[in-house]
Amino acid sequence: MKKDSRLSSVLHALLHMAERDEPLTSDELALCMRTNPVVVRRTMGFLRDAGIVSSARGHAGGWAITADLKTVTLRQLHETLGEPAIFAIGNKQEMPECLVEQAVNAALDTAFAEAEALLLDRFAHVTLADLAEDFARRHRLRSQ
Amino acid sequence: MKKDSRLSSVLHALLHMAERDEPLTSDELALCMRTNPVVVRRTMGFLRDAGIVSSARGHAGGWAITADLKTVTLRQLHETLGEPAIFAIGNKQEMPECLVEQAVNAALDTAFAEAEALLLDRFAHVTLADLAEDFARRHRLRSQ
DNA sequence: TTTTCATGTAACTTCAATTATTACGAATCG
DNA sequence: CGATTCGTAATAATTGAAGTTACATGAAAA
């Protein structure tokens, strides 16, 4: 399976947008994210529908952040993107009649559920402001 | 991407094999696992190479468990299958020059690493014997 | 020894999901 | 008006697991 990198992509885009006050066009974002403008529009559209960013057409149009960086968490972004599947591993059948397979599913489901809960909890405690701060720190380090 | 269900499949196969002392053929396993005999051979081949099962050709041939159920953990099986990717979500670029993307990757990598460590730890504490016991319990419950 | 059964494997196709691309419509501003 | 930019439909490319076909290899039964 190809990995879903939309969360990574929108974070990258949002932080670049946070660095600039003017709107960034899909083409500009696509260039720095090494992807396609249409992919940018498609993905950022979810965030616009959730009120995290705004989009404007025409001259001087593009994408801008409307939400407060401190209030947007990775978990919220993950939900906004439609809560894509986290795991690349899963059960062969979800609702098997076979008791053996039920026992297997139960064991795997428990482990996956715990790992997912931990991941989402970590996501819930990281905001865009945290990432922006970490970027600023890296920037200072490199500028020395 | 299609989810990798090989761990689920081999667990199902192993528990069925544990229930019977005679070897099970690839065709028999494929039937109860709703898959293809060639897929069974391909996947079980990893376990044979790791000494967990044996395979025999010809009459009365097939697959049998050689390892002690108490010593085989889900983690070991996952490793035996080549440690397939656990997550369906990932970074857009693994080694970006862009400092923004480095900050994004660092945050995501930390969260994924913690979730993976938890999952593998859970896997390490579940043995085939545990699953067999859980199956027996389910069997007793349904027989009542 | 011949037949039958079963694994071992290569080669190819199918499948599922993201990502990429092309094309064009719609809105906005100079 | 006309250039710019988003909105979106339709389609292809990509990636890795899973499924399928075909045939060789080896072992036990007849």
The domain over range B6-143 is classified in CATH as 3.40.50.720: no
* Residue A86 CA: distances (Å) to CA of A7, A106, B51: 11, 18, 32
Residue B36 pLDDT: 94
Query: What pLDDT score was predicted for residue B143?
Result: 79
What is the per-residue pLDDT for B21?
A: 85
Residue B2 CA, nucleotide C15 C1', distance (Å): 8
> Inter-chain contact A103–B134, Cβ cutoff 8 Å?
yes
Contact B23, B64 (CB under 8 A): yes
A vs B: CB pairs below 8 A: 176
| CA separation, residue A137 to residues A130, A143, B37, B99 (Å) | 11, 10, 55, 10
Q: Confidence band (pLDDT; 50, 70, 90) for A88?
A: very high
Q: Please report the pLDDT score of residue B142 as a whole number.
A: 86
What pLDDT, in 10s, does the model give residues A91-125? 999 999 999 999 999 999 999 999 999 999 999 99
Provide the pLDDT for residue A1.
67
In whole angstroms, give the CA distance from residue A5 to residue A62. 22
Please tell me which residue of chain B has the smallest CA distance to A8.
B91
B43 touches strand C (CB under 7 A): no
Nearest to A111 among B92, B122, B131 (CB): B122
Structural tokens at position A46: 């979810």
- Locate the domains of chain A by residue range: 6-143
B45 and B97 Cβ atoms separated by less than 8 Å: no
| Mean pLDDT, residues A55-73 taken together | 95
For the cut 90, the answer to whether the pLDDT of residue A142 exceeds it is: no
pLDDT in tens, B9-66: 999 999 999 999 899 999 999 998 999 999 999 999 999 999 999 999 999 999 999 9
> Residue B144 pLDDT > 80, yes or no?
no
> d(Cα A133, Cα A38) in Å, to the nearest integer?
29
At residue A2, the pLDDT reads 81
| Closest nucleotide to the alpha carbon of A36, via C1' | C20
B77 token code pair: 């099986």
**Given a cut of 80, is residue A134 above it in pLDDT?**
yes
